[in-house]
Amino acid sequence: MNVLDWLLVVLVAAYALSGYWQGFITGAFATIGLLSGGLGGILLAPVVLSNFEPSLAVSLGALFIVILCASLGQAVLQYAGARVRERITWQPARALDAIGGALLSGLAVLLVAWALGVAISGTRIGSVTSMVRSSVVLSKVNTVLPDSAPNALQAFNNVVGTGFFPRYLEPFAPERIVEVAPGPADLPGTEPVKETRSSVVKIRGANDCGRGVEGTGFVFAPDRVMTNAHVVAGVDDPEVSIGGGTELARVVLYDRELDIAVLALETDDAPVLDFDTTIGAEDAVAIVGYPQDGPFDVQTGRVRAMQNLRSPDIYGNGTVVREVYSLRGLVRPGNSGGPIVTPQGRVAGVVFAASVTDPETGYALTAQQVQASARAGTAPGTDDAEVDTGDCAS
């Protein structure tokens, strides 16, 4: 158990004691106020903050709105409950009322803490995020709730989240970061890596939430570009910058679970990048793309480990197991969908997430994991196909 767990134990005990003295009736009123106020805050925060770009200030603002609404709701209904309880004079009934109040208050605190924990687990709030993700108490609460419970918080989670990447781990799964040496400093300047520039493209679009989105992709077959599904989620006509110009692309494959999409467009003379499924832990790779909607960028990196990560799909639903490389290197918004390439210039994986607990850690789907998507995206009949890209993912 970490510091957060012990704080939660103390908080639950304090609320249980308060609930004992207040009684079940007062506690029930207070709990209804706490939960309904908190729910109101969860619904209100996305409305108030939806026009702001994700940031630490927005995350803290969303949490403040929820805590304020929950506190106000609790105070108002607690007062009403106390007036009702004053009418109970029979002692046995008051004893049961006290015990019920203790249990109810303790459970209410755990439920609110869990809801806030789910949201915070996907943010970058320094050591707080790490403590939340490794919390034993919150993990236990999560296991007894229905699997679909976190789905109800998705809109709030999107506002609290400080990044432009989907969640790459379940809310209370500790992140395993293997220490490795930094990538070779000279790797970005090597010829095979520099030559990938002609095959790595910038992708832009406007999603159905009214936000501009950008990411990276790469030519993996004639007239085919691979990227992340969350880059083109809710986008009807993605624009691809390639060969000095801009092409409108069609999405011919969209996998919301794996987080892979395949686009069809005229790639002309852009070289096709081959896949490499042979790399492993401690191998050097280059992280290639257009981070933060900027110019072409290459960062050195190294594979920390190959892992099977359990996480929701790009919409925060269900559970997906992905084979990924955890990377030591700089992964930023806009790198999504870009390749990690070997010193020989071959694609070893597809970037899809950055760590919320460590700024030098990112994640890429392995080349082996995306092979089936590559085959499906080039299958006969896809030349004129177009698939639905669903709702926006942020």
Question: E-assigned strands of the chain?
Answer: 200-206, 212-221, 224-227, 239-242, 245-248, 250-255, 260-264, 284-289, 297-311, 320-328, 339-341, 347-354, 361-366
Q: What is the pLDDT of residue 274?
A: 97
Residue of 97, 259, 297, 313 with catalytic role: 259
How many other C-beta atoms lie within 10 A of the C-beta of residue 111? 17
The parts of the chain modelled with pLDDT lower than 50 are 90, 162
C-alpha to C-alpha distances, 219 to 153, 355, 369, 374, 375, nearest whole angstrom: 37, 26, 17, 11, 14
* pLDDT single digits (tens) 315-371: 878 889 999 999 999 999 999 999 999 999 999 999 999 998 889 999 999 999 999
For residue 221, the SS3 value is strand
Residue of 105, 134, 199, 230 with catalytic role: 230
Which letter, b or e, does each residue of 220-251 get, where b requires 16 or more Cβ atoms within 10 Å of its Cβ? bbebbbbbbbbbbbbbeebbbbbeeeebebbb
259 is catalytic: yes
127 is catalytic: no
Token representation of residue 325: 């490389």
CA dihedral 299, 129, 230, 215 (to 10 degrees): -30
Q: What is the pLDDT of residue 12?
A: 86
Question: Rounded to whole angstroms, how far apart are CA atoms 384 and 373?
Answer: 17
336 is catalytic: yes
Comparing CA positions, the residue from 179, 270, 171 lying closest to residue 218 is 270
Domains and CATH numbers, the chain: 3-160 (no CATH), 187-377 (2.40.10.120)
Residue of 199, 336, 373, 394 with catalytic role: 336
Is 34:70 a contact under the CB 8 Å cutoff? yes
Q: What is the pLDDT of residue 394?
A: 58
* pLDDT single digits (tens) 221-256: 999 999 999 999 999 889 999 988 999 999 999 999
Token representation of residue 299: 């960062």
